[in-house]
Each structure stands twice: as structure tokens, then as C-alpha cells.
Chain A
Amino acid sequence: MESPLPPVEQRVPGRWQIGTVSSIKEETPRVKSFWIELPMWMPHLPGQHYDVRLTAPDGYRAQRSYSIASSPLDEGRIELTIDRLEDGEVSPYFHDVVVEGDQVEVRGPFTSYFVWRGEKPVLMVGGGSGVVPLMAMLRHRRRTMPDLPMRLVYSVRHADDLIYADELGDDVVLTFTRDAPDGWDGHRGHIDAGLIADAGVDGGIAFVCGSSGFVETASQLLLESDYEPQQIRTERFGPTG
């Protein structure tokens, strides 16, 4: 049977390793980025994720997956950007307990579909913390192929939900769906066909990441904007934590 995808190199990442948190940045009141130094680092593809595992003294364990935010050019370390979910068990630990110098158990990088391998042009549509794997792509493109056409359409609710605020350049089209910062004269409201058109990307490949509802709406808009289903790759954040 013909697969919709080219096969990829089989390699075996995934051994659990103990990384060290070297720096923590507060991106927003509920989002922090953690740089983690890894003894068994291997290059990832932008869009891939790591699994994180917490172990309590009684042996109880919890695992979650987090997208990598950094470019693979940052050798020996990864950046994970983690949204704090109120009823979660792993994200509140990172936010409330982890400090620089702490050790954390991780393995990765994993899966090779929602990844950017240099295709062009690229349209990315991110909602809230769905921007994280897209930022890995954007950062990598800025450092390797700055002229490659890649645009990010980024939707956030409030002014203080903006992750990576100091890195949003000309290649980003931003919209605030609830309230924008004072003096904002850019887009407001939910992503629509006009916003997609404003991104000025014609054809190529599209990456959509966000909540399930966001992804459903955004990928429908792309279909209406003449993207074919096989040009659209999606990743959804379930109610996990």
C-alpha cells in the first residue's frame, strides 16, 4: 500500500537520561521555558518532543510529553516551554518546584511527522502554547536559511499570554482574540481567511498546533484557502498536564 509519507531514517533515541536545568525563563504568568543540559543529547528535528518523567520517593511516576522549543543547532541542550495546567501533575511541578541546577529525567527526541525538514514555503498557525514546536522551526530557519519563506500566524487570548514576545519579528502575524496590549494596532479576533491571506504564503506545507478546537478551526480555514489535506500537518494539545 502506498504511504502518504516518505520513510525516515530509523534511529533509536529514547533512553531515559538525567538532564540538568541550567536556566529558567518566565515567558508569561503561566508559561516558563527551561533549558536542560543533556549528557546523551542528539540532534532533533524542529517539531519533535521529549518525554519527561517524574518519580516520587514511593516510586510513583508521572510522564508527559513536551515539544522542544530550541533549534538543534543548540548542541548538548534542549529548551522545553511548559504551560502550567492548574490540575496537572507534571507542569505544576516544573513551575512551582524546579529551580536552576535541578535534575530532571527525560528521553527523546520523538516522532517524525510534525517536523520541518527544510520544505518551503511554510505557513505555521499556532494557538496559545501551540506555538512552541513552531518556534523551534522558526528559530532553526532564522539561523540556517533566513531567506526561506516561512510565516507564523500566532493567536493568543490576552496581552499577557504572549510567549516569546521578544522574538516575534516580521515573519510573525499576531492576533489577540480577547484583549490586546495598549496601543496595539495589529490584528484582533480569531484567525480567519483574511489573516491567512495576510501571511502571504502561497502553497507549500502548513503546520497547525494548538488546542483541539483551534486546530479543527484553523485546518478547516486552510482547506478553504486551497490547501490540500496532505499539505497540512496538525498537532493538538489535549487536556493533559
Chain B
Amino acid sequence: MNGFISRGFTHRRRTPEELADRLPPGQYLESGWPVLTAGPTPDVPTDEWSFRIDGMVAQPREWNWEEFHKLPFETITKDIHCVTKWSKLDATFGGVSMDVLLEEAEPLDAYATFYSYGGYTTNVPVEEITDGKAWVVTEYEGEPLPREHGGPARTLIPHLYFWKSAKWVHGMTVLDHDEPGFWEMNGYNNHGDPWREERYWGD
């Protein structure tokens, strides 16, 4: 804290008091759902979609759309925080816990990189996607996940900034080393904890 005050800044966005402590530092409440995408929106038909777990695992696995939907399906309501400063509270998704998926594949090492249709990648330590912290979701508010938000399927890792939740997800590779993904190589923080405001390199 450097003591700087912005001359004449008094305006307060009307965030209800009871919600204010759910907003990490530097975030504001957004009721819509803005889109952040680095390139054109991929079009992935569900009959061509699959989710794989490969790399350093005991048993590489792949689920197609039909097989994926036979797995235990959960409704998940979470707050999400985008590095571009908006937060959305109580967003409801439907999907499968990473715990279910990882139990079948059995990761043997500590690092994971998710990869998407369209070439996007993002890295997350395995311990941050286990014990009820991450999902592969195919529904939003009870409807199929919209394409611009990653449909047919994206990951949901709500305790990290939302670029860590890969849209159009196609799979994850377990690695014996940390491998920075797309945004992690292009200026965003390697870890991305919104409560510690880990937005950029060096934060």
C-alpha cells in the first residue's frame, strides 16, 4: 500500500455489502458472462468430441460424449473470477468431477496440462484439480454449455482465475515437470490464485 489516493474518486460500484467479501482484490461484480478468447471460436460437434487423460498415468483413458455422460454427473454452483477483472457469483454448471476421471487414469506425477480443440493449453498442478476442486462441465444453468463459453465441454477450476478453466477441452496430459500453457507463456501468472491477485508474471 503506497498511500496513493485518486483525486476525486468517490464513486462506488453498487456491490451489495453481503457480496463484497466474495470478490477477490481488484475484481468487480458482473451479472452477464463476458467472453475472453484468443482466436476464433472452435466448432466441435459432440459426436467428434472426446476427453482424454494421457502422459504419466497408470492407465491412459478416453471418453467419448456418450461414455462421458454415463459417469456420475454433478451440479456445481461456484463463483468464477476472470483475470480481466470481472467476477460472476453463483454460476451453476453440470459436469463430472476430475476426481472421477483421475481415479480411472491414476496420475503418477504432479503436473497437468490441459489441451483444447483449437490449440489452447493451460497448466495446473495435479493437487489443485483433486479433492473436489475441478470438473469437466458440459452444462451451464441446466442448458448445454454455449459454444462461445467453451461448449461442448470445458474444465471448471473455480479457485483459480478463469483462463485456467480450458474451453473446448479435449484432454489433459500428466507430466513430471511444470509446462506453462498458452496464457502462462504470454504474460499471465503461472499459478493464478485470484485471492492473492496472481494475474501476471511476477505477481
Contacts and interface: CB of A to CB of B under 8 A. Distances in A.
Interface residues of B, number: 48
A61 B11 CA distance: 10
Chain A interface size, as a band, is 35 or more
The interface centre, meaning the residue of B2, B4, B86, B121 with most chain A CB atoms within 10 A of its CB, is: B4
A233 B40 CA distance: 8
A234 interface: yes
B147 to A, nearest CB: 10
A110 B186 CA distance: 9
Give the residue among A3, A8, A60, A113 with the most B Cβ atoms within 10 A. A3
Contact of A238 (B26, B36, B42, B179): B36
Nearest to B28: A62
A212 B199 CA distance: 22
Interface in A54-76: 54-57, 60-65
Interface in B140-195: 148, 173, 179, 181-183, 185-188
B70 interface: no
Contacts of A61: 25-26
Main secondary structure of the interface of B (DSSP, over half): loop
A207 to B, nearest CB: 11
B85 A63 contact: yes
Contacts of A10: 201
Nearest to B8: A97
Q: Give the 3 A-B CB pairs with smallest separation, nearest first.
A: A238-B34, A12-B202, A111-B187
22 contacts: A5-B186, A11-B201, A13-B202, A16-B2, A56-B6, A56-B12, A57-B5, A62-B28, A93-B11, A97-B7, A97-B9, A103-B4, A113-B38, A212-B35, A216-B41, A229-B39, A230-B39, A230-B119, A234-B40, A238-B36, A238-B84, A240-B85
Interface of B: 2, 4-13, 25-26, 28, 30, 32, 34-42, 84-86, 113, 115, 118-119, 121, 148, 173, 179, 181-183, 185-188, 199-203
Interface of A: 1, 3-5, 7-8, 10-14, 16, 18, 51, 53-57, 60-65, 89, 92-93, 97, 102-105, 110-114, 212, 215-216, 219-220, 222-223, 229-230, 232-234, 236, 238-240
